[in-house]
Amino acid sequence: MKISDIKIFVTCPGRNFVTVKVITDNGLFGLGDATLNGREMAVVAYLQEHVAPCLIGKDAHAIEDIWQYLYKGVYWRKGAVNMAAIAGIDMALWDIKGKVAGLPVYQLLGGKSRKSVGLYAHASGDDIADTLLKAEALMAQGFKAIRLQSAVPGLKVTYGVLGDKENYYELQGNRPLPPEEDWSTPKYFNMVVELFKQAREKLGNDVQLLHDVHSRLTPIESARLGKLLEPYNLLFLEDASIAENQDSYKTIRQHTTTPLAIGETYNTIWDCKDLIQNQLIDYIRTAATHAGGITSLKRIADFAGIYNVKTAPHGAPDLSPICFAAHMHLNAWAPNFGIQEFVGFGTQEAQQIFTHDIQVKDGAAFVSDKPGLGVDFNEDAAALYPYKRSYLPVSRLEDGTLWNW
């Protein structure tokens, strides 16, 4: 079974998605997600010009060899663009292998370790009261774990809070440039500790609470935040600090028992190797789309399991349902699965393009039993929504200094 063609689609049903379709000479195809938010067309060009021509004629069953060929074989290795491209191909090849076997991908990974996959939803409000009302609504829908984000008083915009926007990362007009947002660590501290204090008073102790700092704090500030949040028993504190220096998490770890999660921007196992083997984190959040696909995430999950680190894959709206499906198969299998982030399946338009039978009930999701990944891609519907340039925001301190967004 040889790869006979590779097609790349970019569609924007509310936001951009890059979809890879690998076609075989026996008439099968597989789908993969290669979306890199704000840099989509770099991955498209990379796939079309540099990856696809090398793979035509190769054995579509040789997933591991193709992964190594696109990683070691390019000499340059790693990198967000390269790893998103590998991810798109890798997911598509697992999809094909499942279709050939007549088995869902989780069976190829080793079978199910659990009946359902626990999810956490997002409650994001314009103030603390608004955030907690939204959390109560999610609890009423059956969600047992909720990420709380709330606007920081005194800042124009806050990460994770929609404000007057309709969607996350709403497209920015006809001539988009990265929007600029402001940041103040002291103002944030005043809000965030109060948010979790009031959350426990209002929501009780049974619901699991989470929070995404989005890398705005230095390690010692994260240590202080972890300590201040200890009484409110978070499931995890996400992306407290950037960990380009993986050792820097020792500072946070030494000071707090608040569980720590990181990894959504990581591209390889090497980015989290020290964090995992030194047991500096509790949850690894790498996404199949950004870290080289199912092959990479399986390897990271097994490595993490040795050190009591659980998986908690990224589930943002900029990952397509194909990525979510790939995560679902990994989550069903991984013995050390923790929790899956979940923000729905996108706009109505997106749901007409990406169709699947993943069920969500009482805060848990049920993996598809269809052969392969279990997602279909409607090419005609996708063509109705062409690519639109769009950027993630950049962040600046109040004096203008560029900061981590």
Q: Catalytic residue numbers? A: 159, 214
Alpha carbons 173 and 122: distance in angstroms, whole number: 26
Rule CB under 6 A: say whether 214 interacts with ligand EZ4.
yes
Binding residue count for Co ion, defined by CB under 5 A: 2
Cβ atoms 124, 161 nearer than 8 A = yes
Considering beta carbons, is residue 84 or 332 the nearer one to ligand EZ4? 84
CA distance 393 to 177: 9
Residue 155 or 316: the one with the smaller Cβ distance to ligand EZ4 is: 316
Whose CA is closest to 121, among 327, 321, 340?
Answer: 340
Size of the site for ligand EZ4 (CB under 6 A): 9
| Least separation in angstroms between CB 377 and ligand EZ4 | 21
Which of the residues 253 through 272 are near Co ion (CB under 5 A)? 264
Residue 306 contact among ligand EZ4, Co ion, none, beta carbon within 5 to 8 Å by kind: none
Supply 221's token pair. 């500030």
- Backbone phi and psi for residue 150, each to the nearest 5 degrees, phi listed first: -145, 150
Measured in residues, the chain has a length of 405
Nearest distance in Å: CB 317, ligand EZ4: 7
The entry of Co ion, ligand EZ4, none that residue 37 binds, CB within 5 to 8 Å by partner kind: ligand EZ4
Whether residue 34 contacts residue 288, with contact meaning beta carbons closer than 8 Å, is answered with: no
- Residue 318 interaction partner, one of Co ion, ligand EZ4, none, beta carbon < 5-8 Å per kind: ligand EZ4
Residue 184 beta carbon to ligand EZ4: minimum distance, rounded to whole angstroms: 19
Rounded CA separation 344/15 (Å): 14
Contact indicator for 220, 243 with CB cutoff of 8 Å? no
The helix or strand, by DSSP H or E, that contains position 299, with its residue range, turns out to be helix 293-306
* Phi, psi of 4, deg, nearest 5: -105, -25
| Residues 284-299 as b or e (16 or more Cβ within 10 Å = b) | bbbbbbbbbbbbbbbe
- By beta-carbon proximity to ligand EZ4, the closer residue of 30 and 263 is 263
Structure token digits, residue 363:
């805060």
What's the closest the beta carbon of residue 383 comes to Co ion, in angstroms? 31
Which residue matches tokens 């997602």? 375
Q: Would strands 340-341 and 364-366 be described as parallel, antiparallel, or unpaired?
A: unpaired
* Window 1-60: residues binding Co ion (CB under 5 A): none
Q: Is 212 in the site for Co ion (CB under 5 A)?
A: yes
- Cross-strand partners of 118: 364
Helix (H, G, I), strand (E, B) or coil at 371: coil
Residues 10-39 touching ligand EZ4, rule: CB under 6 A, are 37
Q: Work out whether 212 is an interface residue with ligand EZ4 (CB under 6 A).
A: yes
> At its nearest, how many Å lie between ligand EZ4 and the CB of residue 390?
11
Choose between 264 and 282: whose C-beta lies nearer to Co ion: 264
Q: Which of residues 309-348 bind ligand EZ4 (CB under 6 A)?
A: 314, 316, 318, 341
Q: Taking a C-beta distance cutoff of 8 angstroms, is the pair 403, 159 a contact? A: no
Q: Residues 134-173: x/- map of binding to ligand EZ4 (CB under 6 A)?
A: ----------------------------------------
Q: Please, which of residues 74-103 interact with ligand EZ4 by CB under 6 A?
A: none
Window 66-125: residues binding Co ion (CB under 5 A)? none
Taking the complex as a whole, the smallest distance from the CB of residue 312 to ligand EZ4 amounts, in Å, to 10
List the one residue out of 201, 253, 274, 260 whose CA is nearest residue 232.
201
**Interface with Co ion (CB under 5 A):** 212, 264
**Interface with ligand EZ4 (CB under 6 A):** 37, 212, 214, 264, 314, 316, 318, 341, 392
